[in-house]
Amino acid sequence: MGLTSQSSGLNLLRESFNLDSTKNNPIVALAGNPNTGKSTLFNGLTGLKQHTGNWPGKTVTQARGYYNYLSQEYTVVDLPGTYSLLADSQEEQLARDFICFAKPDVTIVIADATNLERNLNLVLQVTELTDQVVLCLNLMDQARKNDIKINIKGLANDLQIPIIPTVAREGKGLEDLKKVVSEIANNKFKINPFTINYSSEIETTITEVVAKLKEELGQFAEQINFRWLALRLLEGDESIIESVQQFYRINEKKPRNSEVKVDASF
């Protein structure tokens, strides 16, 4: 079976993040705040099957690993620990760009169950960017010690994403996590995360910006989340323009005998 142009383009994008597209593995990204046990979870999933290097063109360390579940191999990428995806730091930009352009089949957001409110900010930012999200509620043993009770079912209903409680350092919950990742990656589980609705004025502006983006970037309609991109532009994030141009090589494409450029001056 030959690759479609869309899948071929995605493979090229993934290769730009040091991923081996010939493996044809589902890609699982681990995102989370610092000190949530993300590296412990990564080690628990991948064991000794992991490699460490640098992100392309960066001095930030990139960890990649592999695990098998139901005779299928998965590639796991440990993203830099961040509190947000607003690209205020190199780590935040790397995490944002990987989720946006490498399009992992599943993004696991690891949250500290003892400090859930602070961690939910990143969860909501990730769900604005991709539907393929699982919340891993880690450090559940510490939460119990601190007499913190979490209504996991209620939280899952509110966020409309699966939530898996874990104690990563003891390996607890990892099989449940692998199961839900497998179901999402193999399209057995459709997720429709909670969507933030802004004021009518902001929503009107978002619609206007999305229309302009589609005029300029219509050929990438299946690859770009235009609503998310519009929100980044409205927040004044100029770095996302550079990333769009870099990863989609916008300035190299010349439909209708003219160069396509991304105009952020809406």
Q: Tens of pLDDT along 139-163? A: 999 999 999 999 999 999 999 999 9
Using one digit for the tens of pLDDT, what is the confidence trace for 53-108? 999 989 999 999 999 999 999 999 999 999 999 878 999 999 999 999 999 999 99
Q: Determine the residue type at 210.
A: V
Confidence of residue 17 (pLDDT cuts 50, 70, 90): very high
H-helix or E-strand spanning residue 63? strand 61-69
Q: CA torsion sign, 125 to 130 to 134 to 138?
A: negative
Instruction: Give Cα separations from 237 to 87, 112, 179, 191, 265 (angstroms).
Output: 8, 28, 36, 28, 12
Q: Does domain 5-185 have CATH number 3.40.50.300?
A: yes
The two beta strands, 27-32 and 163-165, are: unpaired
C-alpha to C-alpha distance for 111 and 108, rounded to whole angstroms: 10
Confidence of residue 208 (pLDDT cuts 50, 70, 90): very high
Tokens coding 189: 């589980």
What is the pTM (predicted TM-score) of this model? 0.89
